[in-house]
Structure 1
Amino acid sequence: MTLLLLYAAVFIAALISVEAVLRSYFRKSERQRAVNDRLSLLDVSEDHLKTYHAMLKARGADEDWRSLPFVQRLRQYYAQSGVKFDAQRFALYGITGAVLVWLAVQFLVPTTLVRIPVFLLVCLAIPIVVVWRKRANRIRKFTLKLPEALDVANRSLSAGHPLPAAISLVAREIPDPVGTEFGLLSDELTYGTTLDHALINLSQRVGAEDLNLLAIALSVQAGTGGNLVEILQNLSKTLRDRTMLKAKVKAISSEGRITAIFMSVYPFLLYALIKALAPTYFDPVWASGHGTTIVAVLVAIMAVGNVILYKMVNFEY
């Protein structure tokens, strides 16, 4: 057991070293990545239409999301994460992750009959969780920067520029993800897409609820008229107030959320700890022939309890 842990530690150390080398080779610096991705692509090619389609294709958003509901919904979810497919990195992470998961499953799960489905389930869950976290972080960054983008558009409109020029200015001045998304919005307007459809596409690409308010406000203003600068100023203030309210609710419920996370993870940590200190402690349970049934029932009960628990500590606002 000690030798196995030593091998695992060496493997993880080698993985971290390889990742550090690949990070310096494949990825830009933190400062460079903060620059608008669309502008960096336009520096390479001045063909806006080609760049526009290339960006949509890299994000998995180049086809109609509504043609096949389930598959296209997954494509839309992936596009909203902003993750770009890299075959080399995907292969490296896939092989390395599969090896680490198999070692962990082999250590924790006693029988081969149970190991294989658990291994497949974990390997399927990890990329889903990664994409989900990337999507949540991207939407959060977009929501925080959206009021600033509206302020930039307001200043442009107050100077006498038309709305497409104001959107183009936001694309140049605001960093990702707002800059790139508004750049795609500007490209769509340039290539003849109506404002309503372009805003709908923007909302579907990003997935932020606050964009629905922007789409409704601009659509109503385009149809009925009104002071667009004042509308965007009020919308910017509303979005800032919503962000502050979310932060307050998140701070107040932080204790409950961390308790829920700890209670969800604690049984598995306790099992791993006992398994490491006393490897034969659970052998009578598995030898009885009812171990799989017991674990399945307990996991189902925990799943129901976790759903109730997270409903209690997560609020909709």
Structure 2
Amino acid sequence: MTLLLLYAAVFIASLIAVDTLLRSFFRKSERRRAVNHRLSLLDASEDHLKTYREMVKERGADGIWRSLPSTQLIRQWYTQSGVKFDPRRFALYGILGAVLVWLAVQFLIPSNLVRVPVFVANCLLIPIVFVWRTRTSRIRTFTLKLPEALDVANRSLAAGHPLPAAISLVAREMPDPVGTEFGLLSDELTYGTTLDDALVNLSRRVGAEDLSLLAIALSVQAGTGGNLVEILQNLSKTLRDRAMLKAKVKAISSEGRITAIFMSVYPFLLYAMIKVLSPTYFDPVWASGYGTTIVAALVAIMAVGNVILYKMVNFEY
């Protein structure tokens, strides 16, 4: 009995120690994330204008790319994703990803006629999907943090500060992506950009739909006057209610979305599993000469089905 109590005491002590270490680690990580990217760059350099230009350039939001219609949409997605372009890292990941994709395609598809198009399509599609998913996640995070940023600006305005000072306070107090984006907005106002143009640039850099409401509210208030604190309070409440509605719709449609994802991925997983367990199972299909046609037809049917499933589980609100 004494030995059992000793084991229990050692277990509880170990559990408490591990919990303390994990809490300390995550608390430090959260503290590091609280400092946004712009402030970390400003700590390393005292030249605010140079830092602003470097941030705009690394995000691909400078004016040079806006003049190229063929790359405007791609550059806009890249800018809104918040990804920083590093040539060496891009080359390393590109080569490694291409090798992994080629090995997977070579293992799963025996026909050389199909291998090369599938390999090229995947090499082009994977970076686009990565940027698109990163952009979607960043916009979602910005949208969730925007009401909190409006509350910070409201408190500054209620204390008697002007709007540029309130925007600068948001840039100092909020984490990424809100802090950095409002910091760029504050820099543009400081260097002579009008409020309307700065808000348009902010909306283009972020891509969040809720920013259009903020831009309209600030533009109308600047032109016609009114109680800006009350306007931003009402806007913050509206954005919170909208986020709550989105969360409810997402929860209600979660079963349908999981079903759609499973039905989309299942055929490929089943093919890979059969290929691993019985490598020669599909050889008659490829040897018949109709394998490419069959695969193309099935992929086209699956694409149509995925579009229908996407329309069924995604709602406009």
Q: Structure 1 length as normaliser, TM-score?
A: 0.89
Shift of 1:34: 3.6
Shift of 1:30: 6.2
Alignment of 1:121-270 (within 5 A): 121-270=121-270
Does structure 2 conserve the Cα–Cα contact (< 8 Å) formed by 1:35 and 1:175? Answer: yes
2:17 alignment counterpart:
none
Shift of 1:29: 6.1
Matched residue of 2:128: which SS?
helix
Alignment of 1:92-107 (within 5 A): 92-107=92-107
Does structure 2 conserve the Cα–Cα contact (< 8 Å) formed by 1:64 and 1:72? Answer: no
Distance 2:80 2:130 in 1: 13
Work out the percentage of aligned pairs sharing the same amino acid.
85
**Counterpart amino acid of 2:260?**
A
1:22 alignment counterpart:
none
Does structure 2 conserve the Cα–Cα contact (< 8 Å) formed by 1:81 and 1:132? Answer: yes
Does structure 1 conserve the Cα–Cα contact (< 8 Å) formed by 2:167 and 2:182? Answer: yes
Report the RMSD for the aligned CA atoms in angstroms.
1.3
1:9 alignment counterpart:
none
**Counterpart amino acid of 1:250?**
K
1:63 alignment counterpart:
63
Shift of 1:87: 2.1
Does structure 2 conserve the Cα–Cα contact (< 8 Å) formed by 1:65 and 1:76? Answer: no
Matched residue of 2:281: which SS?
coil
Shift of 1:73: 1.6
Distance 1:100 1:160 in 2: 58
Distance 2:114 2:155 in 1: 62
Does structure 2 conserve the Cα–Cα contact (< 8 Å) formed by 1:65 and 1:73? Answer: no
Matched residue of 2:222: which SS?
helix
Distance 1:277 1:36 in 2: 49
**Counterpart amino acid of 1:99?**
V
How many aligned positions are there? Answer: 290
Distance 1:74 1:285 in 2: 39
2:276 alignment counterpart:
276
Shift of 1:31: 4.2
Deviations 1:46-99 (A, max 9, x none): 111111110001111112554223311211110100000122221221111111
Alignment of 1:104-119 (within 5 A): 104-119=104-119
Deviations 1:141-176 (A, max 9, x none): 111110010000000000000000000000001111
Shift of 1:279: 1.1
Deviations 1:211-265 (A, max 9, x none): 0000000000011110000000000000000100000000000000000000000
Deviations 1:77-124 (A, max 9, x none): 101000001222212211111111111100100111211111111111
Gaps of 5+ in 2: 1-27
Q: Structure 2 length as normaliser, TM-score?
A: 0.89
Shift of 1:284: 1.0
Deviations 1:190-218 (A, max 9, x none): 11111000000000000000000000000
2:11 alignment counterpart:
none
Shift of 1:280: 1.1
Matched residue of 1:138: which SS?
helix
1:302 alignment counterpart:
302
- Judge which range, 296-305 or 62-71, deviates more: 62-71
Matched residue of 1:205: which SS?
helix
Q: After TM superposition, which residue ranges in structure 1, 4 or more long, deviate above 3 angstroms?
A: 28-31
Does structure 2 conserve the Cα–Cα contact (< 8 Å) formed by 1:167 and 1:182? Answer: yes
Distance 2:45 2:62 in 1: 19
Distance 1:76 1:279 in 2: 44
Distance 1:212 1:66 in 2: 20
Distance 1:284 1:90 in 2: 40
Distance 1:241 1:83 in 2: 30
- Judge which range, 63-72 or 82-91, deviates more: 63-72
Matched residue of 2:63: which SS?
coil
2:21 alignment counterpart:
none
